Amino acid sequence: MLSNKLFVVIGVIAIIFIGLVGYLFFLDRKTQRLEKELEDFLNEQNKKQ
């Protein structure tokens, strides 16, 4: 009985951990895309001057 509860707790923790890792991966990709857009925008502004 205790073993089953332990597996449930481990499973829930694993799902939460996987979700956090996925969210951080998504956030990192989004941040990289925004940084590239900002860099391109600043380069265009510098060329206009």
Q: Which two three-digit tokens encode residue 10?
A: 């481990």
Q: What distance in Å separates the CA atoms of residue 21 and residue 7, rounded to the nearest whole number?
A: 21
CA dihedral (39, 42, 47, 48) in degrees, to 10, reads 150
Q: Which pLDDT does position 26 carry in this prediction?
A: 98
Q: Which pLDDT does position 49 carry in this prediction?
A: 72
**What pTM was estimated for this model as a whole?**
0.72
- Secondary structure (3-state) at 49: coil
Q: What distance in Å separates the CA atoms of residue 18 and residue 25, rounded to the nearest whole number?
A: 11
Q: Which pLDDT does position 43 carry in this prediction?
A: 94
Q: Which residues of the chain have pLDDT under 70?
A: none
Q: Which pLDDT does position 44 carry in this prediction?
A: 93
